Amino acid sequence: MDILPSCVLCGNPFTPKDIRQKRCPDCVLKRKSCAVCGIEKRSPGLRCVQCEYAARFGRPNLKIRREEKPIEQVISEAEVIGLLPEKRYAFGYVIGVIFGDGSISKDVVKHLKRADGSPRVRPVTLYRVRLQVTEEAFAERFVKQWSVLTGKTPNIWQTTRTNFNKSTLKGRREEYSVQLFDVNFAHALFGRYLAHLKYGKHSSRALDFPIETTRGFVHGMIDSEGYLNAKKPGRIDIANKDIGLLDTLVKMFASLGFKATIYTYPSQNVSHLVTHMPYVKYAL
């Protein structure tokens, strides 16, 4: 009598459809992962697209894009790095800026070269972090904190903008121009992690971080969205449409020893958080 293999997750015996299958069908359905490689799958069935192709034709299809890691794994790996003692402030600052002026785009690049110059056969998914600001000091500070966090220093380049039809500066004269400073780079781990936090509206997750990370988050938001009135030293006004993000900031300010209040004006579609705290924007 043949001895059935046991599932590596639950330990129950099962009849495999493939000699490489390590998980029973019940565990595969619960985890929504490939029965062969364990990566989160988007296709129906027990196997991901890559493993299904390999099972049918006996070889992998190099033109099929690899399945992405489960987001839980991305969160775990990113926070293990970001919460190292020497990276905590930079980790919080980068998250704060991304929740403010920053953005992340998901691009699938079909023709990308490796570090040695050889072409990649499979398409590659890039999570590109973008920041476009009018203050060079702000861009430099963000780049500095990103370098502390990742060990990589992106470039900053200048552009001149004259088209304001689709911006918050509508109605400007045709000859009016603004000097902008751009940061645009891709990072496989932190790009996806930051996209998950911002677009999934998970700002409250930062409340569980150490106090140094909280301080960095607050400083990043002030540099991005904060307004400091020179006539009222110490007064900080942060405007944002996401009331949940402002509620999180109120708790962060409280943990730092400062009281913050949220105001919502009927004539505006944004809310304002007002607090009093000594701070210098873009201080390097």
Domain segments of the chain: what residues?
A: 1-63, 71-276
The per-residue pLDDT for 91 is 97
CB 221 within 8 A of CB 256: no
- CA-CA distance, 167 to 131, in Å (whole number)? 15
What is the pTM (predicted TM-score) of this model?
Answer: 0.73
- HSE-CB at 174 with a 13 A cutoff on CA atoms is 0
The per-residue pLDDT for 43 is 56
Q: Which amino acid is at 93?
A: Y
Instruction: DSSP for 5-58, please give it.
Output: PBPTTT--B---SSTT--S-HHHHHHHTB-TTT--B-SSSSSS-HHHHHHHHHS
Q: Which two tokens stand for residue 192?
A: 């996806």
- CA-CA distance, 68 to 101, in Å (whole number)? 27
- HSE-CB at 252 with a 13 A cutoff on CA atoms is 30
- CA-CA distance, 145 to 91, in Å (whole number)? 8
The 10s digit of each residue's pLDDT in 108-129 is 777 767 667 776 666 778 899 9
**Fold of the CATH domain 71-276:** Endonuclease I-creI (3.10.28)
Walk along the chain (284 residues) in steps of 10 and give the mean pLDDT of each run.
73 76 72 62 61 67 62 92 95 95 86 70 81 91 94 88 60 66 88 93 92 96 90 89 93 94 84 91 76
What is the gyration radius of the CA atoms in the chain, in angstroms?
24
